[in-house]
């Protein structure tokens, strides 16, 4: 290899903000890299759908009819939000595998900026979430579920922002538990179910004890789920939708900030 070639490679590695390796280009490259296994094996998305479809199959027959129509209008948005949360929270598991094989370390010394490594991986979670939402809607629409496409699109945009934040937090957790993979699974499993239940995804929290109501109010997913339910029903209550978007934005900003700090400190 010539000296000129080595000099060019050193220049590219030292200038991650150049037009060739700018943040947007790096983020796109990382996202497409992470999506390749999903696109090669789309059946993996179907396997991830087993749990939400089981929930729909077991709970839907028990749901009472409501004056406003089918109870699926209330239940399905919660299942979509649950699928989004669980899928994004599992993403750190991919990073733990990369750290075990040394792939993550090789990426860290590449010309890619560390911020793009995190954001690109987090954005990757939006695509499986869109696919899973489409599958759920295809399954439930024939069963007394009214599809309001405009509201669904706005709800999915809110959930996409939320999934980016959760995915970034999941990567930060994977980096923090680098040498102890069991810590990742323990924290992930311990945290996810209280968050789901406090958001009122499976059961309404009307009439809950005061302490439970306060805990629910402190849960950003509560506001996201309320906004998604309103949008899925074809309504647009401005305060509810804004609160849901704000909850997603808080999670996204916090997740990316924590994730970037963890990524920059990783070695």
pLDDT digits (tens, 9 = 90+) for 139-175: 888 877 888 888 899 999 999 899 888 988 888 888 8
Q: Locate tokens 């704000």: which residue?
A: 246
> Is residue 30 predicted with pLDDT exceeding 50?
yes
Q: What is the pTM of this model?
A: 0.79
Q: What is the CA radius of gyration of the chain?
A: 20
Q: How many domains does the chain have?
A: 1
> Is residue 68 predicted with pLDDT exceeding 70?
no
Say which range, 35-39, 88-92, 249-253, has the weakest mean pLDDT. 35-39
Whole-angstrom distance, CA of residue 89 vs CA of residue 94: 11
For residue 249, name the pLDDT band (cuts at 50, 70, 90): very high
Domain residues for the domain of 195 are 3-265
Per the structure block, which two tokens stand in for 52? 């939400």
Could you write out the DSSP letters of every residue in 142-208? TTT----HHHHHHHHHHHHHHHHHHHHHHHHHHHHTTT-HHHHHHHHHHHHHHHHHHTTSSS--TT-
Ramachandran sector of residue 148 (left: φ over 0; alpha: ψ -120 to 50; beta: rest): beta
The most confident of the ranges 64-68, 70-74, 238-242 is 238-242
Whole-angstrom distance, CA of residue 257 vs CA of residue 168: 8
CA distance to 10, 13, 16, per residue, from 6 (Å): 6, 11, 16
């Amino acid at each position: 290899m010539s000296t000129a070639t080595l000099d060019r490679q050193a220049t590219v590695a030292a200038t991650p903000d150049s037009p060739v390796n700018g943040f947007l280009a790096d983020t796109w490259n990382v996202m497409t890299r992470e999506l390749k296994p999903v696109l090669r094996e789309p059946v993996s998305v179907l396997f991830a759908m087993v749990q939400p479809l089981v929930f729909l199959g077991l709970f839907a027959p028990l749901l009472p009819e409501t004056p406003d129509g089918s109870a699926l209008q209330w239940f399905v948005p919660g299942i979509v939000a649950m699928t989004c949360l669980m899928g994004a929270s599992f993403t750190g598991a991919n990073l733990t595998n990369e750290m075990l094989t040394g792939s993550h370390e090789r990426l860290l010394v590449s010309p890619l900026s560390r911020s793009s490594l995190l954001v690109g991986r987090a954005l990757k979670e939006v695509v499986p979430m869109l696919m899973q939402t489409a599958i759920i809607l295809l399954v439930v629409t024939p069963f007394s579920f009214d599809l309001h496409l405009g509201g669904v699109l706005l709800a999915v945009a809110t959930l996409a922002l939320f999934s980016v934040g959760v995915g970034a937090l999941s990567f930060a957790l994977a980096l923090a538990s680098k040498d102890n993979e069991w810590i990742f699974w323990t924290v992930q499993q311990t945290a996810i179910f209280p968050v789901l239940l406090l958001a009122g995804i499976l059961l309404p929290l009307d009439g809950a004890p005061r302490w439970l109501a306060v805990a629910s109010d402190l849960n950003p997913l509560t506001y996201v789920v309320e906004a998604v339910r309103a949008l899925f029903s074809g309504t647009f209550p401005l305060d509810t939708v804004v609160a849901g978007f704000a909850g997603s934005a808080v999670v996204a900003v916090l997740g990316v900030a924590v994730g970037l700090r963890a990524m920059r400190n990783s070695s």
